[in-house]
Structure 1
Amino acid sequence: MEVLDLLEIESEVSLPKRYSQLSVEEMAARVKEIKAKFGNRLFIPGHHYQKDEVIQFSDARGDSLKLARICSQMPEAEFIVFCGVHFMAETADMLTKPGQKVILPDLRAGCSMADMADIDQTETGWKKMQEIWGDTILPLTYVNSTAAIKGFVGKHGGATVTSSNAKKMLEWAFTQKERILFLPDQHLGRNTAYDLGIPLEQMAVWAPLEERFEYAGDFEDVKVILWKGHCSVHEKFNINHIQNLRDKEPDTKILVHPECTYDVVQASDLNGSTSFIIETIEQAEPGTRWAIGTEMNLVNRLAAENPDKEVISLNPFLCPCLTMNRIDLPHLLWSLEKLEQGEVVNQITVSQDVKEYAVLALEQMLKRS
């Protein structure tokens, strides 16, 4: 089910008004009480981009790869209340055992990047690519994609990737086929392929809305086909932010996520996954100054947890990820109180036909990571 479809049923699962009348302290106390009551039957994974009011209750904090692994290793958890976004909850459902129930506290917590590649668009684009290049393409998809796209990739022998393992997975993919289709984030695909030595001239962009390629060269030279998708947060960092910082604070190190545009990544001092960003700041020398190009909740948390360094956002006017922030304390409490009452709300399930191939794509990644 696509996120836009979920919005249509929002009225069926909307938050009762009484939660707006509770204090933060009251809600926090109730969450703690319910967690203690359920014990090992309840597991709450939390993505790094979640609000502090939510992440404080997570049983595990991590990026997509870490949380995917953990969820696959939690057979005792009857209920997994996922504090993240829809595609992450789908992954948890696919990797857990039958009978375990995955819950997303707010169904509106989606991912704009994942929505930029639906299965119909992908089938259409794939047909065109086959006409041009034949059976020379292996599809890879960023985990920030729907279960249906993961299933498509698995069906065609490909794999999922994360920002942590994208380079390793592309290296593997090129041992399988001559060309790679990278969905749905063009920037992670471009930055990773370039790091592997593939020139920009050998990367074509497929624009699904126009059903055409953005490429002026000879198609025979193409090694990487990039889906025209992006992260709405990471595209808000630009080269002017870097130039202004270099002029005003030349001693500040610039560290960005590879979902940023190619020019921003090339102009930064370092780039890497969410885990890499966290580890770099934690291991940095006291007194150093850092400007981070990633989601604002994480940047603020890094600043708070590393007071011996100066940590700021590369874009001081950046807002947190809007869909990630749909998961808040009231929605978390509501979903837990429903469980306490014996009712499962907002359960995320993936159909068996999609799951069969999507799990293949996930397993290809997990066994190489």
Structure 2
Amino acid sequence: MSLSVHDRIELTPKESCNESLPDGPWEFDAAPGYGPGASEADPIPDPVTRPGQLPEEYRSLEEAELQRRIVAARETLGSRLVILGHFYQRDEVVQHADFVGDSFQLANAALTKPDAEHIVFCGVHFMAETADILSSADQQVILPNLAAGCSMADMADEDSVEEAWEDIAEVYGFDPEGAEPDAEGKLPVIPVTYMNSSAALKAFCGRHGGIVCTSSNAATVLEWAFERAHRVLFFPDQHLGRNTARAMGIGLEQMPMWNPREELGGHTAEELHQAKVLLWHGFCSVHRRFTVDQIEKARAEDPEVKVIVHPECPMPVVDAADASGSTDAITKFIAASSPGDTIAVGTEINMVNRLAADYPDRTIYCLDPVICPCSTMYRIHPGYLAWVLEELVAGRVENRISVPAEVADDAKVALDRMLAAKPR
């Protein structure tokens, strides 16, 4: 079933979490087309291979044989290939990555291999789009499973954001096609999109003087935006926007949440004139599961526990934690801890389990007692990786992600600004 943006924003965390994912993600979905988080403008590869269409050979192979074939294909392809792996990928996939990191790190990593013919992105659709935009024209970006997307990215679609922009322009009195700076040299509002968004929305920001951010550099990006505008429209993740802006001293009364279902986002024009940050009604279904009660339970069981959470978590959870930060910041926080420490982490379970394995002299566990991996990130399975690599060896490119030039050009403007906004 396809959900509209209005349906999606009403989902509860529990409804968005599959607590018992099967080993083979091809059991989820065999429909044609892309999975969640894809740009509407993206051309769908023809023929398209979706989970139910993955050759039976790869669905039935034993894990050890899949791993052997991945390694063999990598060796054959050599320097023609680079594999990027997000922190949230399962271990049996991420072990093959040349670079492992968060979205900011992987965006930079893609730039370091200009001679690689093929970039295989073990992540989700918006990440592969970004790699395609930033890579050279003769490089091919491949997403092993086209169903690997991001439900948060779907919560702000291009049409809804364009409609909101027109309403915002009317309230603040500027031309939605191109605002002019005032006597202070500032625009009325600048759009900022989180990396977890389609290429179309990154292009929207590029056209309107805006920028892309990641959880690593969100504070730097907001500072950049406020140097150029009186306000920010921040989408799609309300929690990252709220937590980042509040840490900069912006009051909650100046951060109304824009609900695309309601007129003027659910606010009066007067309220919008008092705003500094307009927050889009979007969220990460995994990070919204973390609660203050979980933190209190962890502290009751061990008063010495240290708690760190991702800034996509709700504000009360971030406030109750000892620290918050991007996936890279969480990794560094744990690396800086001491043997014997107990650390409760509020982020995706695959990453938490990997950190626990990397630091066996510490007790590291996930705050959420219900195991809830990112179900779309989970769809990158060794079977898909083995398949796309062996197809490359045979001279065939499967699941290439190709962003149209008219979208990519504007999106690259916003992405280049993001890359220049170094994390603190």
**TM-score, normalized by length of structure 2?**
0.84
Tell me which of 160, 164, 168 is aligned to 2:216: 164
CA RMSD of aligned residues (A): 1.8
User: For 1:307-334, what per-residue CA distance to the aligned partner results, in whole angstroms no more than 9, with x for missing partners?
Assistant: 1110000112131100000001001001
Query: Any idea what the Cα deviations from partners look like across 1:49-82, whole Å, max 9, x if unmatched?
Result: 0000000000111110111011122111101110
The residue correspondences of 1:1-369 to structure 2 (distance < 5 A) are: 3-4=35-36, 11=50, 14-135=53-174, 136-215=188-267, 218-369=271-422
Amino acid at match of 1:177: A
* 3-state SS of 2:243 partner: helix
Q: Point out where structure 1 has 5 or more consecutive residues left out of the alignment.
A: none
Q: Tell me which protein shows more helix as a share of its residues.
A: 1
Tell me, in whole angstroms, the C-alpha distance in 1 between the residues paired with 2:389 and 2:263.
Answer: 44
Q: Secondary structure at the match of 2:141?
A: strand
State whether residues 51 and 145 of structure 2, in contact with CA within 8 Å, keep that contact through their aligned partners in structure 1: no
1:161–1:365 Cα contact (<8 Å) kept: yes
| Cα distance in 2 between the residues matched to 1:130 and 1:9 | 40
Q: Distance in 2 between matches of 1:218 and 1:166?
A: 25
Q: For residues 289 and 222 of structure 1, do their structure 2 counterparts lie closer, same or farther at Cα, with a shift above 3 Å needed?
A: same
- Note the alpha carbon deviations across 1:67-106, whole angstroms, 9 max, x for none: 1011122111101110000000000000000111000000
Corresponding residue SS for 1:117: coil
1:254/1:199 CA distance change after superposition, 3 Å = same
Q: Aligned-pair distance for 1:13?
A: 7.9
Counterpart of 2:12? Answer: none
Q: Within 2, Cα distance between the matches of 1:49 and 1:211?
A: 37
Aligned mates of 1:125, 1:9 — CA distance in 2: 33
Contact 1:236 1:318 in 2 (8 A): no
Structure 1 residue 234 displacement after superposition: 0.3
Secondary structure at 1:44 match in 2: strand
Aligned-pair identity (%): 48
Residue 2 of structure 1 and its aligned partner are, at CA, apart by 6.4
Give distance in 2, aligned partners of 1:294 and 1:167. 20
Which runs of 5 or more structure 2 residues have no equivalent in the other structure? Answer: 1-32, 175-187
Cα offset for 1:211? Answer: 4.8
Matches of 1:76 and 1:181, distance apart in 2: 37
- Counterpart amino acid of 1:154? G
Structure-1 separation of matches of 2:294 and 2:151: 23
State the one-letter code of the partner of 2:35.
V
Aligned partners of 2:380, 2:409: CA distance in 1, in Å?
A: 29
4+ residue runs over 3 A deviation: 1-13, 209-212, 214-217
Query: What TM-score does the superposition give when structure 1 sets the normalisation length?
Result: 0.96
Name the aligned partner's letter for residue 218 of structure 2.
A
- How many residues matched? 369
Q: Which moved more, 1:70-79 or 1:358-367?
A: 70-79
Partner-residue secondary structure (3-state), 2:122: coil
Equivalent residue letter for 2:408? K
Per-residue CA deviation, residues 223-267 of structure 1 (Å, 9 max, x unaligned), is 100011101110010121112222222211110000000110011
Give the stretch that moved more between structures: 237-246 or 175-184: 237-246
2:13 aligns with none
CA-to-aligned-CA distance 1:101-156 (integer Å, 9 cap, x gap): 00000000000010111110110011111111234000001111000000000100
